Structure 1
Amino acid sequence: MQTDLVAALDIGGTKIAGALVDGDGRLVAQARRPTPGQAGGERVMAAVAEVLAELSAAPQWTRVSALGIGSAGPVDAAAGTVSPVNIPGWRAYPLVARVREAAGGLPVTLVGDGVAMAAAERWQGAARGYAGALCLVVSTGVGGGLVLGGELHTGPTGNAGHIGHVVVDMDGDRCPCGSRGCVERIASGPNIAARALAGGWLPGPDGDRSAAAVAAAARAGNGVAIASYERAARALAAGIASTAALAEIEVAVVGGGVARAGEVLFAPLRRAMAEFATLSFVRDLRILPARTGTDAGLVGAAAACREALHPAR
């Protein structure tokens, strides 16, 4: 039997996506459900099981040899558990065991969603060819993953590079993780939107209160919307510059739903990097948009799974 496909799950605070991914990174079957983020843990798992059931009904399922998961974090790859900050029903939740059971006993690899994105961008995206890279997912939360010495660096629990909970404002607002002033508390989509609303920005007639709507208002010249994105960009720049000082990365690749704001985010991010990345060995750090798009989590979960199965390849 031909077994050239890997199943992949991308689990975040907004959506649970699944796909069958071939050796070239193509998605040959897909399924998706909204994440019932405020529901109990078993209801969230039921949505994961629905995605897996839809994938397993695809005719290509017989070619699947393993399954990779990229999950909002923190995760514990060694224990097979997840405790996503933005999915309160999952605390030390045994996701690997539950997914393995739902997937008929397939081998399962778990990494954080930021690590999954880094795997995707190293394989097929903007981090390809770089020895040192930080890849960021800026969405409902903020995650990250590292490429060091040309190799994906997951850390022992699968969380290495989790820039979202680097503190950039010591006296900042309390983060759901328990700390204060985290990058995520300032730069995530919901926090960009909440800050704009608190500053007086008003949604349009459609009532859209998302970060995407704030980005549209910023492009139209709304000062409050512009300021909210600039604040997010400064938090990201501070975290990226600190990572660069520690690890001498050459490039930071920024993806996720918030990155689709384009220059509304990237222009102030580049300006802030010039302010924070001042040491000689970090001044030339490049800021690039991710290339693997909305499929990065799925492609990366598959890539991390293949790497775990065949580390010498």
Structure 2
Amino acid sequence: MTCVLAIDIGGTKLAAALVDESGSALRSATRPTPRTDVMSALAALIAEVTNGGPPPAAVGIGCAGPLDLATGTVSPVNMPSWRGFPLRDEVRELTGLPTMLAGDAQCFALGEHWLGAGRGSESLLGIVVSTGIGGGLVTNGAPFLGLTGNAGHVGHMSIDPNGERCECGGRGCVERYSSGPNLVRWALENGWSPGSAQADARILAQDAAAGDLIAVAAFERGARALAGMIASTAAIVELTTVVVGGGVSAAGKLLFDPLEHALDDVAGLPFVRRVQVRQSTLGVRASLAGAANLAWRQPTPTT
């Protein structure tokens, strides 16, 4: 049976799977991302998945960024031991297979387009709302990666040039308003108290569901920032579909209802107003599915 090797690399978890042409995982495994010597852990994970399984024809990798497609290098923010690390060449040498690389959020978008909530969309934006905000674009059925591989980095689109200073150094970035930690930060600054629990986005969502006005306002504020970014991106790219995933999306209606209302308010042009916003159906599997799809796009040598 023909299959490909899909790899998803993040700051907390490494995942790999053998995936067939229908998107089914034949074998899979995960392990925590170590602070150092990540490549040794990745090599062991690849061996665990591939030994005894059908031989893969190619490899697709989704990795936290930033990255540089020209050199195949990655410098994930949450993986300090990798700075300018030649990931694509290392995996290609390890496996002896054609290897393709993209950002993890880009793979999220590609996975949702292939198998998830955005299946078959003509022009899709995938957004991961979590500790940070990542994004990826799929247009005309293909991932749009950009010159260096960082296209779709919508978390650092400025929605307010006079707004708050972002951790990236910019000002008014949507991540500063809508990411999980920043939802919590704003709520705490405005009088929210998580009681005896540790303050995080999950507890904030619980309190918002219980009617806490500050918690509700935090999600409304974050949703409005997301709406501004979506409307702006739709005006540029003429999106048909937006798929939202990541831990914060688990808040469900607490996020998606105010997002729908805000988008209705900020979007004006008819083609912008037509964009459909959907919640991810693949969840944590989306990036791995996208990495597999990326590998299937790699032309394989004929014999």
Distance 1:114 1:288, change over 3 A: same
Distance 1:296 1:229, change over 3 A: same
For 1:123 and 1:299, the matched residues in 2 are separated by 8
1:290 matched to 2:284? The reply is no
Q: What residue in structure 2 maps to residue 16 of structure 1?
A: 14
For 1:84 and 1:25, the matched residues in 2 are separated by 27
**Structural RMSD (CA):** 2.2
Q: After superposition, what is the alpha-carbon deviation per residue over 1:170-205, rounded to whole angstroms, capped at 9, x for unaligned?
A: 233333333222222322222223333333333354
Query: Which stretch has the larger CA shift, 255-264 or 143-152?
Result: 143-152
Distance 1:208 1:308, change over 3 A: farther
Q: What residue in structure 1 maps to residue 138 of structure 2?
A: 147
Q: What residue in structure 1 maps to residue 84 of structure 2?
A: 92
For 2:97 and 2:299, the matched residues in 1 are separated by 12
Residue 282 of structure 1 aligns to a residue whose secondary structure is helix
* 1:40-79 matched pairs, under 5 angstroms: 42-57=36-51, 59-60=52-53, 62-79=54-71
Q: What residue in structure 1 maps to residue 112 of structure 2?
A: 121
- Asked if 2 retains the 8 angstrom alpha-carbon contact of 1:85 and 1:176, the reply is no
Unaligned runs of 5+ in 2: none
- Asked if 2 retains the 8 angstrom alpha-carbon contact of 1:86 and 1:141, the reply is no
Q: Which amino acid aligns with 1:48?
A: L
Number of equivalences:
300
Distance 1:219 1:98, change over 3 A: same
For 2:121 and 2:150, the matched residues in 1 are separated by 20
1:196 matched to 2:187? The reply is yes
Q: What residue in structure 2 maps to residue 299 of structure 1?
A: 289
Residue 140 of structure 1 aligns to a residue whose secondary structure is coil
Q: After superposition, what is the alpha-carbon deviation per residue over 1:62-119, rounded to whole angstroms, capped at 9, x for unaligned?
A: 4222221111222212211112344444332222223334x43332211112221121
| TM-score when normalising by structure 1 | 0.87
1:309 matched to 2:303? The reply is no
Q: 1:213 aligns with which of 203, 211, 221?
A: 203
Q: After superposition, what is the alpha-carbon deviation per residue over 1:196-220, rounded to whole angstroms, capped at 9, x for unaligned?
A: 3333333354x34332222122111
For 1:84 and 1:185, the matched residues in 2 are separated by 19
Q: 1:257 aligns with which of 247, 250, 255?
A: 247
- Asked if 2 retains the 8 angstrom alpha-carbon contact of 1:67 and 1:302, the reply is yes
For 1:250 and 1:302, the matched residues in 2 are separated by 24
For 2:214 and 2:294, the matched residues in 1 are separated by 40
Unaligned runs of 5+ in 1: none
Residue 146 of structure 2 aligns to a residue whose secondary structure is coil
For 2:10 and 2:177, the matched residues in 1 are separated by 18
Residue 224 of structure 1 aligns to a residue whose secondary structure is helix
Q: Which amino acid aligns with 1:222?
A: D
Residue 270 of structure 2 aligns to a residue whose secondary structure is coil
Q: Which amino acid aligns with 2:75?
A: S
| TM-score when normalising by structure 2 | 0.89
Residue 109 of structure 1 aligns to a residue whose secondary structure is strand
Distance 1:156 1:88, change over 3 A: same
Q: What residue in structure 1 maps to residue 261 of structure 2?
A: 271
Taking only the aligned residue pairs, the percentage that are identical comes to: 50
- Asked if 1 retains the 8 angstrom alpha-carbon contact of 2:238 and 2:271, the reply is yes
For 1:175 and 1:49, the matched residues in 2 are separated by 36
Q: What residue in structure 2 maps to residue 176 of structure 1?
A: 167
For 2:26 and 2:57, the matched residues in 1 are separated by 15
Distance 1:150 1:9, change over 3 A: closer
- Asked if 2 retains the 8 angstrom alpha-carbon contact of 1:13 and 1:141, the reply is no
Q: After superposition, what is the alpha-carbon deviation per residue over 1:1-23, rounded to whole angstroms, capped at 9, x for unaligned?
A: x5x22222222233322222222
Q: 1:110 aligns with which of 97, 101, 119?
A: 101
- Asked if 1 retains the 8 angstrom alpha-carbon contact of 2:177 and 2:183, the reply is yes
Distance 1:11 1:235, change over 3 A: farther
